[in-house]
Amino acid sequence: MQITITVNGEPRTAEAEPRTLLVHFLRDNLGMKGTHWGCDTSNCGACVVLVDGEPVKSCTMLAAMAEGHEVRTVEGLERDGHLDPVQQGFMEEHGLQCGFCTPGMMLTARALLDSNPNPTDDEIRVAISGQICRCTGYKNIIKSVRWAAEHGEEVTA
């Protein structure tokens, strides 16, 4: 079937089987490898993307279900050559080591800050609680999100 999804603001169309999961549609049909594919069982959260602004595990959503919806991936964080404050925060606070969980973590952080610009550490912990970092960099991830919350405006200015 033909599937059209708005990805990072642009309508993208590809032919795919109905059983195609959103993560594979993004990576294989559209060639966007920024979204990582991890456990396949909606546990690890490496595949998190935003659907209509909400974090979703793209290994447990059919691409067909995203038709007519807005998907935002890690490729859509940087805008006009400027890093998103969340990306800058992960650099400043060493929020990643191997980088496998990072795209999903950053998208969840973006969604959190969009709805709650000044979250507490506990609110950050709850927001990322469905995503696993196996370098155990949770503390630095929380510091990175805090950095983005505190510096958001000056980076985007």
Partner 1 sequence: MQVPAPFDYARASSVDEAIALLERLGPEARLVAGGHSLLPMMKLRLATPEHLIDINPLESELNYIREEGGLVRIGALTRHRDVLASEVLARHYPIVREAEELIADPPVRNRGTVGGALCQADPSEDLSAVFAALGAVTVIRGSGGERVVTMEDFHEGPYETAVGDAEMLVEVRVPIREHGGSAYEKVKRRTGDWATAASGVALWLDGANVGAAGIALSAVNPTGIRSTRAEQALIGRPPSEEAFAEAAALAAEDCNPATDQRGPADYKRHLAQELTHRALRRAAERALAS
Judged by CB under 8 A, does residue 131 bind partner 1?
yes
If one asks whether residue 144 binds partner 1 (CB under 8 A), the answer comes out as no
Contact between 48 and partner 1 by CB under 8 A: the answer reads yes
Q: Does 24 sit near partner 1 (CB under 8 A)?
A: yes
> Among residues 11, 18, 31, 81, which is the contact residue for partner 1, using CB under 8 A?
18
Is residue 40 a contact residue for partner 1 (CB under 8 A)?
Answer: yes
Residue (1 or 91) nearer to partner 1, CB: 1
Question: Cβ neighbours of residue 41 under 8 Å, at least 6 residues apart?
Answer: 59
Q: Does the footprint of partner 1 cover residue 98 (CB under 8 A)?
A: no
User: Which contiguous run of DSSP H or E holds residue 3?
Assistant: strand 2-7
Q: Name 119's Cβ contacts closer than 8 Å, sequence gap at least 6.
A: 112, 113, 127, 145, 149
Contact status, residue 69 vs residue 6, Cβ threshold 8 Å: yes
Q: Segment contacting partner 1 (CB under 8 A): 40-48, 73-81, 87-95, 141-149?
A: 40-48
Asked if residue 90 lies in contact with residue 102, where contact means CB atoms within 8 angstroms, the answer is yes
Q: Which CB sits closer to partner 1, 16 or 77? A: 16
Q: Give the C-alpha separation, 148 to 46, whole Å.
A: 20
Asked if residue 119 binds partner 1 (CB under 8 A), the reply is no
Of 70 and 92, the one with the shorter C-beta distance to partner 1 is 70
Report DSSP state, residue 53.
T
Q: Confirm if 77 and 107 have CB atoms less than 8 A apart.
A: yes
Three-class SS state of 79: strand
By CB under 8 A, name the binding residues for partner 1. Answer: 1, 17-21, 24, 40-43, 45, 48, 51, 54-57, 60-62, 64-65, 108, 126-127, 129-131
